[in-house]
Amino acid sequence: MISFLKNTKIILALAFVSALFWFLAFSGTQASSSDNLSGWAWVDSETVMPADPPGANLDIGWLSFNCTNSGSCGASNYGVRVDPACTGSVCGISGNAWSENLGWLSFQAGDASHPNPTFDRATGVVDGWARFLAQDGNGWDGWVHLKGPTYGVTVSGCNWDGYAWGSDVVGWIHFRGPGYGVVGTGNACTSITSNSAPMVDAGPDQNIVFPASATLNGIITDDGLPNPPGTVTALWAKVSGPGTVMFGNVSNAVTTASFAATGVYILRLTGSDSILNNSDNVTITTTSSSPMTVSCVASPSPALLGQTVTWTANFSGGTAPFTCSWSGTNIPATPAVSCTSPSSYLKSYSTIGLKTARVRVTDADSLTAECIPAKVRINFDPDLEEF
């Protein structure tokens, strides 16, 4: 009898030490002052969703997310946190919740097949796995899935809601219901900042002389979301043009472009933050010669009423052949006609006063240039009557 009592005491002592080891091992892993989740979830072993209200049918009981719920932090510090140092959108979850009937629910016991849980502050989606770690040999030691095809834990503001699934043994874990729920602070709340598409500027339009390259000064700005990746990518592409385009680095906003033929090219810069994108176009005109310059002059100046005035245009640059079109005071816009420099237009005036004329020159690449309007004053000829 004495031997039996001694053996019983030894067994009880070993059981107490084992339980104490499990409790202390996990209770000391988290300090409640730094945990940002608190409140209660309800564990319901029924396998039909939604779970029953607390106290109905096959209920397992409460799951506490922070020792402050029961005022037990002095004796056992535990809690669950979303990484308070996380600056991105997707943050890790760690720590332990406590169930009197099931033991510790660890949020940091993942493996290759069961990744540790995460919380996306931008979307409010909770993903990954937690695991019950029974402190004695009679509890359930198994996985809890926080997001499945037709269920999951979600966050709106600081309120955690939805269902996690603990297989047929535990069933549903409901994170919010009438009079209870899990609540977050800080990084355990959804971010109020929503992702915006990058702002893209492909730079100013350019005229270059073939075969020179164009320097593309694109600019992409972004709000840094989503994070990860927290960066934007750039991509240049040809939209239209008569020949092929070779980019110095198609993935850099600032790069160069060379062209296989003269003509007008439209290039597009696209910026992407991995979810949203935006784009802007730039026009590059390539010519086989330097830009045109045009000047105009009238002769004689001044002129007399009824006298013929010769308007002369001198131009340089551009690519032949050229066309010229004159316009001005008492000069209806003339159709474009073939011309070379210098090009002349003759006009006599039937009224006195200041007269002007200008010419538009177009080259073979469809580039145009105009002169500053030339001026001539028509005076009364005392030998003639004004008509």
DSSP label of 197: P
Cα 333 → chain centroid: 50
- Determine phi and psi for 63, rounding to 5 degrees: -125, 115
Query: Has residue 319 got a pLDDT over 70?
Result: yes
Encode 78-136 in three state secondary structure: CEEEECCCCCCCEEEEEEEEEECCCEEEECCCCCCCCCCCEEECCCCEEECEEEEECCC
The average pLDDT across 313-333 equals: 92
pLDDT for the residue 16: 35
Among 289, 309, 316, residue whose Cα is nearest residue 352: 309
Question: Domain 199-287, CATH 2.60.40.10 — does that match?
Answer: yes
Looking at every residue in the chain, the average pLDDT score rounds to: 84
Give the residue range(s) of CATH 2.60.40.10 domains in the chain. Answer: 199-287, 293-379
Higher pLDDT pick, 332 / 146: 146
Higher pLDDT pick, 239 / 368: 239
For residue range 153-171, list pLDDT tens digits in order. 999 989 999 999 988 678 8
Query: Has residue 52 got a pLDDT over 80?
Result: no
Lowest mean pLDDT among 36-40, 258-262, 316-320, 323-327: 316-320
Backbone torsion region of residue 168, taken as left when φ is above 0, otherwise alpha when ψ lies between -120 and 50, otherwise beta = alpha
| Cβ neighbours for 15, distance < 8 A, ≥ 6 positions apart | 136
Lowest mean pLDDT among 16-20, 129-133, 178-182: 16-20
For residue range 77-100, list pLDDT tens digits in order. 899 999 999 988 899 999 999 988
Using pLDDT thresholds of 50, 70 and 90, give the confidence band for residue 385.
Answer: low
For residue range 167-199, list pLDDT tens digits in order. 867 889 999 999 999 999 989 998 766 678 999
In words, the CATH class of domain 293-379 is mainly beta
Query: Has residue 263 got a pLDDT over 80?
Result: yes
pLDDT for the residue 376: 96
Q: Does the model's pTM come out above 0.75?
A: no
Helix (H) or strand (E) holding 5: helix 2-27
The amino acid at 358: R
The average pLDDT across 243-248 equals: 97
Q: What percent of the chain has pLDDT over 70?
A: 83
The average pLDDT across 128-144 equals: 76
Specify the 3-state DSSP secondary structure of 167. Answer: helix
Query: Has residue 369 got a pLDDT over 80?
Result: yes
For residue range 324-363, list pLDDT tens digits in order. 999 999 998 888 999 999 999 999 999 999 999 999 999 8
